[in-house]
Structure formats: C-alpha cells, structure tokens
Amino acid sequence: MLTVSAGAFAQQQNPADTVYLFSQNARQLQEAQQNAAALITTQYNDVSTLSLAYNLQNGHFRTSQTAEKGREASFKSSGISTLGRFKVAGYFNFVRTWQDSLAWTMQGYTDEATPYYFAAGKAGKYDRLNYNFGGLVSYSLIKDKLYLAAGVTYLYNTASRSVDPRPSVQTFQLNITPQILYKTGKQVFGAALNLGYGKEQNNVAYRNLDYAGQSQTYADRINYLVIGYGLTTPYGAGSFRRKNDVSGFGLNYAYNGSNAYLSTALNYTHNYQDNFISLDASKERNRYGILRLNNYSGKILTGVKRGNYHHQLQASALWQKGYDNNYYEVAGLSNYKYSHQNVNVSYSVLKASASAQKTELGLNFIYDNVSKRDIGSSISSTFGYVQPGLNGTIYSSFKNNSRLALSLSPGVRLPVGNEVKVPVTTNVFANNIIYPDLTYWSSTAGVLGFNARYITPHILKNVNSGISFNANYINALSLGTNYQTGKFIPGKQRIDLTLSFDMYF
Amino acid sequence: MKKTIYFLFAMLILAIAACKKDNVPDTNNDVKPVTISVKLSYEAENTALALSLEKTEVKITNLTTTQSYTATSNTDGVATFTAISPGNYDVSAVQTIAAEDYNTKAGTNVTDAVIFNGTLSRQALTQDGQLAVTLKTGRIGDLVIKQIYYSGSSAANGAVFRDQFVEIYNNSNQTLYADSLYFGQVINTATALNKIDFSKGFYQSGGQYDWSKSIGMNTTNANTGYVYTSALFMIPGTGTQHPILPGTSIIIAATALNHKSPYTGADGKAISVKDPTLTIDLSAADFEVYLGDQNGINPLASDVDNPAVPNLTVIDRGANRDLVLDALGRDGLIIFKSKVDPKTWGKFPTPEVTQIISTTKTYIQVPVNLIIDGVGLNTTVVANRIPKYMVDAIDAGETYTTGGSYSSQSVVRKTNKTVSGRIVLKDSNNSANDFGTLTKSDPSKSATSFIN
C-alpha cells in the first residue's frame, strides 16, 4: 500500500516538500495518518516520503535501564494516497539497532509498565531488529455522508545479545481499529473499536556453565526474574512467554474549514498481558502473572489562519493505570501498581509572508509522572518532571527551488515530586535500578534541540529530496539525589544525533 | 440534527459493546500481611508417648526473598506467625527431647537427645490460615554422609564433574566397617516444581513421583516405605577388611586421581585443567567408582581406573558412564547395609512409563528402614527448585551449595560437639539444619574439612 503510494505518484506535481518542510503542515499530515476523521477532511490527497536515517546516542546522563551508547540505521516510508472512494494512509519502518553497555533489563520491546521481565547486572551489547508497518484506510460508503475505515498496525521486534546471560526475545503485536464515520458539512464524527493481539517469547541462556550456577561469585551474571517492583528471584537459564490482548474504543472528530481546522481523538484501551511458562512435556502452562493496564488518551490539533499568521495548537494527554495479579508469588493477589500521566502541549505561530524567508515561533510544555509500587516489598517510587521550552524556526526558499528550515528548541527539565521508599538496604532491584533512576529524574537539566532540513530538486531528477539533521542534547545542570548504592550513577550529559536522506513524492 | 443524534447514539452503543470482560475472574485483592499458625503433632507411632510439643522451634522461609521467620510453639503445639509477607514458604519444625525424658516415656536407653523434625515444602501462604506439621524422628546413623562434592569445578577452567566425591564418616565411638556398605543415588522428579503438570496424575501433591502408579507396583507404601535408586554400588570386603575408626571417614571418588595434574584418559587423550586451584587431588581416596569394564558401556574418557584404589562393586550402574552426581543438585544419596542382595528386590519404572519395553529403565526399590543415612540435595537457584527428593523419614530437609553448579563448593555436615578429641557431627535427620557449605571441597579428612 505504501510502496504503491510512494511510487505511482512520483511524477505528479504535489506540494510534498512544502508539507514536510513546515512543521505545522507536517503535524497536520501526521494527524491525518492517525485519525480517520482527519484523513477524510485533510487537504492532503497524495503525498509520501522515504527516508534513510542513521542515529547515534551516547551519554552517561540516562536511567539505569538505558543503554550508554546506541546506533540505529533505519528505513522509513509513509504517505497518503487517494484511489477512487478509498483514501489510504500508511507507513513502513525498519530499524536496526546496536546498543552497548545496557544492563538491568533484557526486555525485547521496552515496556515501561510491565513488572515481568528478565534482568541482569552485566552490561552488554544488544542487537535489535524492528519491523513495523500500518495503515489507515477509509472508504466512502455513501459519498460525503457515511464512511467505513480500518486501521492496522503490525510490529515485529527481535532482541539478543552475546554475553551471559544471553537473552533472545521475539515480540509480535497486531492491532486493528475498525471504524465508522459520519460526515456533515465540513465535520466528520467517528467511532472506533481498538482490538489487538500480541505474543512475546523471552529466552535466556548461558554459554559459560560457571555463570549459569547463579553464584554470588559472579553476581552480575545472575539472571533475575523481575516479578514486581523490587521483587525479584534468581532464575538462571530459562524462558517465559507473554500474550498481550488489547481491547477498547475511541472517538474522533475533525473539522477543516478555509481558515481553521480542528481534529481530536479520544481513546480507551485495556491491555491484558499474560505472562507464563509452558509446563514440562505438556501443553499446559503455569502462569507467572497478569498485568492489566488501562490507557486513556486524548489528542487535539487545531489551527487558525489570521492574515499572514498561522496559529497552531497541539495537545495530548495520556493517563495509564495498571495493576498485576501475581501468581508466581502470591497466588494471584495484586502486588504491583502502576500509574503514568503525561501532558504535552505545543503552540506555534508562523508568519507566512510572501518573502523568501518565513519565521515560526513556539512554546511547548511537557508534564510527565510515573508511579510504581510493590506492596509486598513495601517499595515505591514516583518520578516526575515538567519541561517548558521555546522553539524558533526560520524557513528559507532559494531561487533554485531549494528550501531550508533551521530550528532551535531550548528548554529546561525541572524535577517534580520525585521520591522513593525502600525499607531495606539489601534489595538488589532498588540499589541498581530505583536509586540511580531517582538521581536521573530528580536532576535539573537543560535541553537543547537543533533541527535542519534541506530539500532540493537538484539531487535526484524529477524528485524532491534532501538531507535532515537532528540533534538533541541534554545536560544535567544539577544532579539529583544520589545514594550511591550501585555501580551506576547517572552522569552529566547525553546527546542524540540523527542524519537522514529523504525523498518526497 | 436528528441524524447526528442517532449516529452518536449508535456510536455509544458500539463503544459500550467494545468493552470486553476479562476471562479471568477479577482478583484485584491487594497483597496484605498474613497470620499463619502452625499446628504440630507427632507421627502415629510416637503419639502415645505423650511427648511435649511445647517450645518446638518452627521456622518459615520465603523462597523468593529468602527472608525467614521463627517462632516457638505453646503447650498446645501451636506456633503463630503474625504479619508476614505473603508468598511461597518452606516450613520446618525441630523439637529436641532430652534423653532422660525420652527414656522415661519410651522405655529406652538412649544417651543423646532425640530430635524430631517436620517439614512442609513450598506452601503458598497468601491468606490467614493454619498449617499442620507432623514431627517425625529418623534413624540417627552411626555412619553418616559427611561431605558431598556434587557441584564439580569450573566447566571452563576446572575439572567439571570429574572430581566429584562423597565422604562417609563414623559418627559413633565404635569402630565400624565399610565392608558391604551400599551407596546409592536416588531417583525422583527432576523437573522444577513450577514446571510440573500435575494433571498428568503420576505426581504426589508435593511434585514427587507417585510410585504407587508404577507399572507392577506391588507394595502398599510405595512412596513412604521405599526409595528408588538410579545407581547402586557396594563397598567390597569380607566383613572386617575396611575399618572406619571413630571420628574418621572414607572417601568414595568418581575417579580417584589427582585432578590438579594432567592425566591420560581412557581414549588416550590428555585431560587437564586450566586452573588447578579450582579442583582437588583424589588420588588418596579410599574407593572409587570405575565403570569402564561394565558390559555394554560406552566408557567415559575421564573414567580411568586407579589400580591403587579399590573399586566399588557395581550393583546397578543405571544409565551412568561413571559416578556422576547431578551438578545442579537434583540428586539424593543413601547408604545402607542389607543381608539380602538388593538385586533380588523389586525394580520398577518411573510412574509416567505406560509400557515396559526392552529399553525401559527400572529402579531398585530400597526399604527405608534399612537406610543408615540419606541426604537430599536441591538446586541453589530457587526458581529451579525441584520437589523434595528424599522422604522425610530419611531426610526431613534438603541442602545445596551457595555457589551452585561448578563452584568447587561442597556441602558438609556441621560439627555438633567434640568428645575427647573426637568430633561428633550434627545429625538431626534434617540436612537443611545439619549441613553447611564448604567454599572449596576438601577430601583431606583433616580439620579443614570440618565446619562449625
């Protein structure tokens, strides 16, 4: 779907470079690719992009379960296409990741909420492959009145490393979103079901039998099964499986007028994550634990044009609340509690004058708070921050039809409400994960983002293409509370760089 | 407008229909501290003696966190634990009856205190409740298993399992003879408890094999009255050829060689270790197990006969190519004497066998009442623990090295007391209490091979 979308319309005149150059347009396009009501009302009918990117991450200012270094090579494509009564938005991403010095988590696809995973203190290199693709299709059942739509997302992720203990994790997730939408005038109302199914296989093996013995002589080689937040047990070589069922519903709305637009979506999903092992020589299984996670999310994108000034406001909110039923230790009683709140607001105003140079200024604000609690261990933590920031962008057009956008986004991350409660001094999980994370999240940090996008018709014939460079730098202005209980203590800074070659159709 | 309302109503119905009930019943009951009472009683044959249940020491140990709680029982034999964290626990109880008191009630003439043990394995303590523990006494042997070096040494730099040995000690004040002493490995469920499919029907509630379900089983107390050996050997002798003086011991080695030095294997190739400090010298062992001359065997290259060390008589080598103790600890060892040739005893397959064919393995049924001493082992890693290997009458507990497999560590029976220079080892019929870990196995029989 995506490949057709990118190739078949390569020869048409379209404002793809404009769409992807200007941030406000890019957000509208992204909204149309995720919200079926916005897809129906969007003015973008045939645009697509391909991107080859290389990413580097490095720095000691990180959480205990983040790699010290990482590299990524990725191929990404996305676009929108209109075929008769069908309007299609889709994407395909392939990401190859190499990480170094990652410890205390052997998850395949990072899941912040789950309390069930393998972990070991030995840091090592990880190899990951991630394929994910999806799409949103709308069909005009009754022209300009009734629409059917369906969204689908597919993810396959593998992760492994070659130092003991050696994880090998395969994750699969498929989500579908059947929808029905009603259009009246310039407004579209939609309702959707959210359904999903996923599986994961977690295996850990040892090559060195000395390490497999789980002796304190090689403490960092002990493979722990984490079954809570602070509740762990040495496990050795072994495996467990996971099934992930998703259910829920959503409502979406879009309006697109001549000078204003609005799209919004509300979603509720319930994740039912079942973690278990297969019994020996049997088709039966032994359940370790269930995580039940309720996700409530809302998103709004709205804009208005007043003369040469284009205002845009984007806001999203996420509230997650979860708990487990721990069968491994407490016969299905609930031991683990999780909650996460995130609010992200950004406002920008573009001075869209006729000159070759346009400027855009913006404000943004992030609030994030994660709380976890292990009742049996009496361990809990709350990590939160607010991050206000500014954004300034200059868009330049050149006589040879090339374009350039330069953005600078300074901000500051301020800790809010960070605390931990750990009643004992000997808890391995607390000493190596919770306390270093407290240091990280309770730090005040300066954040600086830089982005440059250059698009020109002169690299490839008949195709707009270009180069993008993105840099994010974070520096701890003052390090947070430090109990120095484990080997790892977050450092001062971290950088994230991405260079990509992009094509626009 | 009406159409819009109808459409919104339809969407609302759709949204409600999307709410899916979980198939699993809602068990959103939070973990809470629990109160557990342990009710003690003596086994039937000792009930009439009216022995006291008061002040029995009861310990419960959380298998995941290893946190333990202790309490002593009241006059009714009830020990209470309040506000403990819910989880999976092992329970053990020990009651010591003074010799004088026991003699008065039992009409015996023992000189040492009589120890009663009771255990319950892997109890899920998640709500207030009561457990019942039966106190039993086992045979306190004069010969005891003192040291078991099952873990072996580093697979990369040591001797792996080649340097395993067992030390048998004379715990009495009389000279005893090793002649015709049987030494065997017991077989039971070796699958981790959390991976056992109990629905298969051939397991006991604790996960051990239910031998009553074995094809051809003809005894009524197949599970409590007998153990089943995967390998059985006998120390040769005419009766008085191999004395064990009081407070001394014998070493049975898998291969009685100096494993620190290179040697030539049975296949003509050199066998050596990268780090000799990790292994031991067994060339002075009293006996060894040599299977290289057994009919039909595919000999293990490392099983080399030391002509200076007497070989054990092979009663049943099982599937072994040498004496190989399970390095993970999934094993149990027994010693016994019998006037009846064990080869005449019944042999039975494990209970999951549905049909006996020519290659079906069968195991010798050994009466518990003949066993002088037995020790049950288990894995160091809690998540991989197998069901308790040994019946309570032989060993009320189980033991394991703290370092796990290939750690060069051994389990050693603790010293109880010293009488006129003779060390008396602890023997309460509960290896969980009687044994500790020696950081480096020690076949020297010297003071360094004892622990307090």
How confident is the model over A344-383, as pLDDT tens digits? 999 999 998 888 899 999 999 999 999 999 998 999 999 9
Backbone torsions φ then ψ of A432, nearest 5 degrees: -105, -15
Residue B39 and residue B133 in contact, taking contact as beta carbons nearer than 8 Å: yes
3-state secondary structure of A55: strand
Q: Scanning every residue of chain A, which has its alpha carbon at the shortest distance from the alpha carbon of B84?
A: A376
Q: Which of chain B's residues have a Cβ under 8 Å away from the Cβ of A207?
A: none
Kindly report the number of other CB atoms within 10 A of residue A44's CB atom: 23
A326 min Cα distance to partner chain B (Å): 9
Using CB atoms and an 8 Å cut-off, which of residues 312-371 of chain A contact chain B?
Answer: 323, 325-326, 328-335
pLDDT band, residue B25 (cuts 50/70/90) = very low
CA separation for the pair B249, B424 (Å, rounded) = 12
Q: Is A249–B30 a contact, with Cβ atoms under 8 angstroms apart?
A: no
Q: Which residues contact B107 (CB under 8 A, 6 or more apart)?
A: none
Q: CA geometry: angle at B243 spanning B242 and B245, to 5°?
A: 150
Q: Is A375–B30 a contact, with Cβ atoms under 8 angstroms apart?
A: yes
Q: Who has greater pLDDT, B38 or B103? A: B38
CA separation for the pair A34, A156 (Å, rounded) = 20
Q: What is the DSSP letter of A433?
A: I
Which residue, among A280, A327, A273, has the nearest Cα to A111 in the 3D structure?
Answer: A273
Q: Is A323–B191 a contact, with Cβ atoms under 8 angstroms apart?
A: no
Residue A63 and residue A490 in contact, taking contact as beta carbons nearer than 8 Å: yes
Q: What is the mean pLDDT of chain A?
A: 93
CA separation for the pair B67, B79 (Å, rounded) = 18
Peptide bond into B246 cis (omega under 30): no
pLDDT tens digit sequence for B79-119? 999 999 899 999 999 999 998 998 888 888 887 888 898 99
Q: Is B29–A333 a contact, with Cβ atoms under 8 angstroms apart?
A: yes
Residue A465 and residue A456 in contact, taking contact as beta carbons nearer than 8 Å: yes
Q: Is B64–A375 a contact, with Cβ atoms under 8 angstroms apart?
A: no
Q: Scanning every residue of chain A, which has its alpha carbon at the shortest distance from the alpha carbon of B23?
A: A272
Kindly report the number of other CB atoms within 10 A of residue B450's CB atom: 19
Q: Which residues contact A162 (CB under 8 A, 6 or more apart)?
A: A124, A125
Range name among A96-110, B15-29, B123-137 with the lowest pLDDT average: B15-29
Residues spanned by the domain of A288: 2-504
Mutate to test the interface with B, among A210, A217, A227 (most CBs of B within 10 A): A210
Using CB atoms and an 8 Å cut-off, which of residues 152-211 of chain A contact chain B?
Answer: 180, 182, 184, 189-191, 193-194, 208-210
| 3-state helix vs strand vs coil in chain B, percent to 5 | 10, 35, 55
Q: What is the DSSP letter of B386?
A: P
Q: Is A214–B380 a contact, with Cβ atoms under 8 angstroms apart?
A: yes
pLDDT tens digit sequence for A294-334? 999 999 999 999 998 999 999 999 999 999 999 999 989 99
Kindly report the number of other CB atoms within 10 A of residue B402's CB atom: 14
Mutate to test the interface with A, among B4, B16, B62, B195 (most CBs of A within 10 A): B195
Residue A452 and residue A405 in contact, taking contact as beta carbons nearer than 8 Å: yes
Given a cut of 60, whether residue B170 has pLDDT beyond it is yes
First-to-final CA distance of chain B: 89
What ipTM is given for this predicted complex? 0.85
Any idea of the CA torsion for B287, B292, B297, B303, to the nearest 10 degrees?
Answer: 80
CA-only gyration radius of chain B, Å: 26
CA separation for the pair B124, B60 (Å, rounded) = 11
Note the pLDDT of residue B44.
84
What is the distance of C-alpha B360 from the center of its chain?
A: 25
Q: What is the DSSP letter of A14?
A: -
Q: Is A376–B87 a contact, with Cβ atoms under 8 angstroms apart?
A: yes
Q: Which domains does chain B have, with CATH numbers?
A: 34-135 (2.60.40.10), 143-449 (no CATH)
Which residue, among B344, B348, B358, has the nearest Cα to B315 in the 3D structure?
Answer: B344
Q: What is the DSSP letter of A432?
A: I
pTM: 0.90
The residues that bridge with B87 in the sheet, in sequence order, are B125
B128: which 2 tokens?
């207030």
Total residue length of chain A: 505
**Which span out of A274-288, A362-376, B98-112, B421-435 was modeled with the highest average pLDDT?**
A362-376
Q: CA geometry: angle at B126 spanning B125 and B129, to 5°?
A: 65
Interchain CB contact of B26 with A (< 8 Å): no
Number of domains into which chain A is organized = 1
pLDDT tens digit sequence for A189-211? 999 999 999 999 999 999 999 99
Please, what's the b/e burial string for A342-354 (b: 16 or more CB within 10 A of its CB; e: otherwise)? bbbbbebbbebee
Q: Which of chain B's residues have a Cβ under 8 Å away from the Cβ of A215?
A: 380, 402-404, 407
Q: Is B28–A323 a contact, with Cβ atoms under 8 angstroms apart?
A: yes
Residue A210 and residue B406 in contact, taking contact as beta carbons nearer than 8 Å: yes
Q: Which residues contact A480 (CB under 8 A, 6 or more apart)?
A: A415, A418, A438, A439, A440, A441, A442, A443, A444
| Cα separations in angstroms, A385 against A369, A402, A418, B306 | 7, 40, 8, 71
Kindly report the number of other CB atoms within 10 A of residue B80's CB atom: 14
| 3-state helix vs strand vs coil in chain A, percent to 5 | 10, 65, 25
Q: Is A325–B199 a contact, with Cβ atoms under 8 angstroms apart?
A: no
pLDDT tens digit sequence for B327-384? 999 999 999 999 999 999 999 999 999 999 999 999 999 999 999 999 999 999 989 9
Tokens 């379960």 — which residue?
A65
Given a cut of 60, whether residue A7 has pLDDT beyond it is no
3-state secondary structure of A452: strand
Interchain CB contact of B340 with A (< 8 Å): no
